[in-house]
Structure 1
Amino acid sequence: MTTTVTVLRDTYLDSVVQLSGTRAMRAVAGVEWATAAMATEANLATLTENGFDPAGWDGAGAGDLVLAVRAEDDDAAAAAEEAGRAAMFSARDDGPGTREEADPRTLAEALARQPGSTVAVVSVPGDYAALETTKALANGLHVLLFSDNVPVEDEVALKQRALEENLLVMGPGAGTAMLDRTCLGFANVVGDPAARTGTVAVVAAAGTGAQEAASLLDRAGIGVRHVIGLGGRDLTAAVGGPMGRLAVRSLAADPDTDAILLVSKPPDPAVARAVLAEAGDTPLVAALIGLEKTADDDDPPTVERASTLEGGTTAVLRRLGHPLPDSTAGLRDEVAAAVRDLPGDRRLVRGLFSGGTLCYEALVLLEQELGPVHSNTPLDDRHALPAPAGAHVCLDLGEEEFTRGRPHPMIDPEARIEHLRETGEEPGVAVVLLDVVLGHGSHPDPASALAPLCAEIIGRGGLRIVVYVLGTEQDPQGLDRQRAAFAEAGCIVPRTAARAALAAAAIAARAPELVERPL
């Protein structure tokens, strides 16, 4: 076995570019483990945990890029490093230091080259994120703060300053946004609102929740112009919803916005009421996953609440007088066929998710139908991992414990392939529930990696697999092509994430009628 470590000094790359390099290196035959990462303390600790010698990066700092490979021999290690460099630097000529004009190293240099900029994307280690965001705000820029591990007190201070300047800080940890149909981070391609019925803006404290909402609206023929990601903590009591209030207030004042869809896991109730009050006369639907309206929620008459993403988009369509698509067509028959020969001792659900919001929504729906579901992101602390024998389990594989030292599962399906292979051998499992997220930033062809293994597992008999594909036909991967590949593999492929969760519940409970439950 060969291990190699290469340090590229003074070479900073965005985390998404780093992940592309990691994916390319791990795809090389003979490679056991590899990563491309900035030399932060956390990343170097991960390398040490994976058996690499710290002498290999002696003196490296957070501004240096490290390529680490463990492979079966020297040739495989060299090929992996070459593949990683090609993936990361192909859009930057031949590599670091080869441009006639060096890339800008500061915000000031970038603005000097592009003075008309209005948005800065900040994707640096969390320790440095507040400083860079403050610089961007001082220059009058809205900020997409992609960085995570930003202390909550820094978030509060940054958003208070942004509020005073009437600027948005989308994040921290905001991986999804779309401004005037310009995609930032992980985002789906939607049709031109001018050719659609109505124009909707999505405001979201949930990344894949925002993507699901935008995609469902687009598929229904509704125009989506903006998706404003708030970061997962914005609507908590600790932060107070400053960007949620500003986003809703600004969109409500926009004459081109016909409706607003607010998406979140359960927010602080008082914060939610303050955000909803900003809608004024503009129709607003709040898809607050798993949170039902109570007697204390005195919402404005223009506001409607829903407890699922599908329910939220359906409410928007009704508000705009748009026909409602049938999300259950043929699904009951598919589930009925799936359970007909399902062994009686198989009763358990296993969810392997790449999208945190989709995992959360599945937990809500599965628990309503099947009882407790254990998870690394449980609805209730009593249902945290480890799960007891005979329990339903859903994993959010995008959480930090699964992504340290390896790419996010939306970018690289390898982690889910490992879990799926193990789950396929697990006795008692009736159904595996998967989500597949398309769009910019995601794997270029996830079905090519996942569908063959699904077909292999289904072909052995025993468990069933339900796959939900989130995306649009305009996405680079192509929604119809991806859905068809999973269907050909023998998977059940519902039209919404909520229906996929209900299909899994219906298979486990041997109750096909569950898939038609009102949402």
Structure 2
Amino acid sequence: MITKNQVRKHLYFDSVTLMVASSMMRGLDGVINAAVMMGTDHNRALMTQAGLLGPDMEPFGVNDTVVGILAESEQAAQAAIAFFDDYIGGKKAAAEQTSEQRARTLAAAKTASPGVNFAVVSVPGRYARAEAEKAMELGMHVLLFSDNVSLEDEVELKKQAVEKGLLMMGPDCGTTIINGTALGFANVVRRGNIGLVAAAGTGLQEVTVLIDQLGGGVSQALGTGGRDLKAEVEGRMMSLCLDALEQDPETEVIVILSKPPAQSVMQKMLRQLEGVNKPVIAAFLGGDPALLEGSRVVWAGDLEQAARLAVLAARGEKPELPPADDGMLRAMAEEECAKLRPEQKHLRGLYSGGTLCYETILLLREAGLPTWSNIALDKDYLLDGGAPSREDTLLDMGDDFFTNGLPHPMIDFRQRVERMEQEAADPTVGVLLLDCVCGYGTHADPAGELAPAIRRAKERAAKDGRHLTVIVSVTATEADPQVRSAQLRALEAAGALTLPCNAQAARLAALVLKQLRSV
């Protein structure tokens, strides 16, 4: 086993590009681990801890790209480095073939293209505020993809944005669609008259995808960053986004997605919405419908309901849903229960989407099934991400514990696959619950990574004489690069039950568990 390093001086690539490259390198024959990172002190510590920096490592700085390979042989390490060179070379060649001019600074980019009014900032958190401020000084709206930005910096950036009349979406804003252009982790959805604003990244993906499946379309989908509705931030970006959607002639229906806002922020939001002359649907996940009493805002209990109500309103129909019919889910649950042993009464959920994990926790709690989680609502059920699962457990594997120095689980499936194998070995587990999130920025073939792992998990259980129910929700459209139907076929061929949305997947899991425990 050897460690191989290379430093590319004064070479910068965004974090998503480096995460994708790292993930692909780890999949090469003979490669035990691999990472490509910018040479910050934090990344140096992470790579050292992972054993990816050898004793002969040449000096590097924050403006350098560092390649670290842990491989079974010199040949495998060299092959991984050659792969990285080819991958980056292809990126460079593609960029050079475009007519766009490349600039080294925001100011140079603005000078070269005076009409540009939008910037995506993806730098380490300590540098994020400075870069976002530069962009706003140049009159550009900002999508701040960076995480690890302090709350104080976020408040100051959003104050500046409001003063300048600019959007400052983030920090840690992963999903946005502006005039049909997808930014960050976003899906290819048809254009239409529904505008969304969300403090929930995968929640925004889920609802836009469901709107597309239901025949509706999206005018804009604006992310605010998950902390925007906290009392300290005062919902500044939510307010600005609502103004933008109200004034947007393409937007005829407005959808709001988030966890329940701070009380002061909710009161401010409702005052603002009193003057909006467009239908407004709100899904404040985990909140009380009484929050909206006396307002003109329509309550949605989950992400699926939000999409259905929005499409009804977009068609000029009254946004009301008929009573839910779970007959099909009950039939599926009965069929699965007949295959499971009486002791297989527990569930394990492994999520790449934090909002989807959170929604599932809520829906299971509503069904009388509290769950352990690293993002638990009840502190009595809070589980450290690295701790073994217990009883019913749902994990957000996009949480900082799992992504500290590692690619997001929408890009790299290694940690989730390893955890799946652990959970399948537990004889008390009957249900494995997963999400499969597609779109730009995510893995090129999520089902291609999940399907073999699902097959192995089911085979592992079968060796012990057990059945394993695997339920997967797929967040994707046919127009996505991964193609929804292809993802469904791969998952179903591996023996998974696929559901059209996360809420239905959660409800099916709840029905299986409740039927098992009633025996």
The question of 1:287 aligning with 2:292 is answered no
Q: Deviation string for 1:292-332 (max 9, x for gaps)?
A: 123x645532x112231112122223333469799957433
Of 55-64 and 358-367, more deviation after overlay is shown by 55-64
1:99 Cα deviation after fit: 12
Aligned pairs (5 A) from 1:40-439: 40-53=40-53, 55-57=55-57, 59-93=59-93, 103-193=102-192, 199-279=193-273, 280-294=276-290, 297-301=292-296, 303-320=297-314, 321=316, 330-386=328-384, 390-439=390-439
Q: Distance in 1 between matches of 2:480 and 2:389?
A: 40
2:34–2:52: 8 Å Cα contact kept in structure 1? Answer: no
Match of 1:499 among 490, 501, 504: 504
* Secondary structure of the structure 1 residue equivalent to 2:367: helix
Q: What is the 5 A alignment of 1:448-487?
A: 448-459=448-459, 460=462, 461-487=466-492
Match of 1:196 in 2: none
Letter of the structure 2 residue corresponding to residue 380 of structure 1? D
**CA–CA distance in structure 1, aligned partners of residues 403 and 480 of structure 2:** 25
**8 A contact 1:24–1:80 mirrored in 2:** no
Change (3 A) 1:184 1:359: same
Change in Cα spacing, 1:436 to 1:276, as seen in structure 2 (3 Å) is farther
Cα-to-partner distance string for 1:69-91 (whole Å, 9 max, x where unaligned):
00000000111111123223312
Identical columns (%):
39
Change (3 A) 1:248 1:327: farther
Q: Distance in 2 between matches of 1:327 and 1:127?
A: 50
Quick one: distance in 2 between partners of 1:247 and 1:394?
32
Task: Note closer, same or farther for the CA distance 1:54–1:111 as it changes in structure 2 (3 Å cut).
Answer: farther
What is the CA RMSD across the aligned residues, in angstroms? 2.5
Deviations for 1:216-256, whole angstroms, at most 9, x for unmatched residues? 11111111021100001001111110000010112112232
Q: Report the number of matched residues.
A: 505
Once the two structures are TM-superposed, the CA of residue 272 in structure 1 deviates from its matched residue by 2.4
Instruction: Measure how far apart 1:109 and its partner are.
Output: 1.5
**Partners of 2:231 and 2:69 in 1: CA distance:** 43
Distance 1:276 1:62, change over 3 A: farther
Query: Residues 390 and 166 from structure 1, CA distance in 2 versus in 1: closer, same or farther, beyond 3 angstroms?
Result: closer
Change (3 A) 1:102 1:200: closer
Which segment drifts farther, 379-388 or 331-340? Answer: 379-388
Task: Tell me, yes or no, if structure 1 residue 16 matches structure 2 residue 10.
Answer: no
Whether 2:487 is the aligned partner of 1:489: answer no
- Hey, what's the Cα distance between the residues in 1 that align with 2:242 and 2:99? 44
Unaligned segments of structure 1, at least 5 residues: 194-198, 514-519
Deviates more, 1:359-368 or 1:307-316: 307-316
Q: Cα 1:388–1:208, aligned 2, differ >3 Å: closer, same or farther?
A: closer
* Alignment CA distance shift 1:389-1:377 (3 Å): closer
Deviations 1:386-426, CA, capped at 9 Å, x for gaps: 57985211111111111123211101212211111111111
Give, in whole Å, the separation in 1 of the partners of 2:258 and 2:444.
Answer: 27
- 3-state SS, counterpart of residue 342 of structure 1: coil
Q: 2-side partners of 1:389 and 1:169: how far apart?
A: 38
Q: What one-letter code is carried by the residue in structure 2 that aligns with 1:34?
A: A
**Structure 1 SS opposite 2:498:** coil
| Secondary structure of the structure 2 residue equivalent to 1:441 | coil
Q: Which moved further from structure 2: 384-393 or 162-171?
A: 384-393
AA in 1 matched with 2:62: A
Moved more, 327-336 or 345-354: 327-336
Aligned to 2:24, what secondary structure does the other structure show?
Answer: helix
Which moved further from structure 2: 402-411 or 12-21? Answer: 402-411
Distance 1:351 1:334 in 2: 18
TM-score of the pair, normalised by structure 1? 0.92
Give the 3 Å change call, closer, same or farther, for CA 299–158 of structure 1 in structure 2.
Answer: farther
Q: Give the C-alpha shift of residue 103 in structure 1.
A: 4.0
Displacement of 1:440: 0.4
Distance 1:212 1:99 in 2: 32
Q: Deviations over 1:4-56 (max 9, x none)?
A: 11111111111110011101210110111100111111111111111244655
Q: Look up the SS of the partner of 2:196 in the other structure.
A: strand
Q: Does the 8 Å CA contact 1:265/1:357 hold for their aligned counterparts?
A: no
Q: Shift of the alpha carbon at 1:445?
A: 1.0
SS in structure 2 of the partner of residue 493 of structure 1: strand
Q: Deviations over 1:487-516 (max 9, x none)?
A: 222211111101111111111222799xxx
CA distance in 2, matches of 1:478, 1:53: 38
- Secondary structure in structure 1 of the residue aligned to 2:158: helix
Structure 2's unaligned 5+ residue stretches are: none
Q: Normalization by structure 2: what TM-score?
A: 0.92
Q: What is the letter of the counterpart of residue 313 of structure 1?
A: A
Contact 2:371-2:394 at 8 Å conserved across structures: yes
Whether the 8 Å contact between 1:235 and 1:268 is mirrored in structure 2 is: yes
User: What amino acid does structure 2 have at the position aligned with 1:503?
Assistant: L
Paired with 2:458 and 2:45, the residues of 1 have a C-alpha distance of 39
